Amino acid sequence: MSLTPTSLLALSLLLLLVLPSTATSSLHNLLQSQGLPGGLFPNTVKSYNLDPTGRLEVHLDSSCMAKFENRVYFDNTVRANLSFGVLNGLEGLIQEELFLWLPVKGISVIDPSSGLILFDIGVAHKQLSLSLFEVPPLCNPQGASVKEDVVMSNVFVAQR
């Protein structure tokens, strides 16, 4: 069976629509190879870099808001130290907890058989189901209002 140029073009376009972006899918694979769920970062990953020391830098199309169990806000660049099962020293990711926006400092999967992932939000550790992170979440661009909420909640927390 031979394909005509028109059918080859149609097949190519179909594959582009069906397949996830290369950056998102390769980051998904990297995270899984390091014992983390592949859907920790949103579907808007433009590129990423992992240096030899394990410093991961993920670039998104723009800052955006997604939802796992609660709302999370991703800056357009998120940085972390990646080691097996752990993202430490996270920068650029905040999570809404009880009407406050708190920075996520770390994410870890200690025991994959437990089905849980641990988010370190500074004042507490929050356990979530690993199943929430199987697929990259849809991420919607957000305005400066989230940044203002974060600044105000951090001022409030600092005064306590």
Helices (H), the chain: 5-18, 22-33, 145-159
How far is residue 3 CA from its own chain's centroid?
40
What's the length of the chain?
160
Write down the pTM of the prediction: 0.75
Specify the number of domains making up the chain: 1
The C-alpha atoms of residue 67 and residue 132 are separated, in whole angstroms, by 9
User: What CATH number does residue 49 fall under?
Assistant: 2.30.240
pLDDT in single tens digits along all 160 residues of the chain: 554 544 433 333 333 333 334 566 799 999 999 999 999 999 999 999 999 999 999 999 999 999 998 999 999 999 999 999 999 999 999 999 888 999 999 999 989 899 999 999 988 899 999 999 999 999 998 644 555 555 444 544 444 4
Q: Which domain holds residue 64?
A: 5-159
- Strand 116-120 versus strand 140-141 pairing type: unpaired
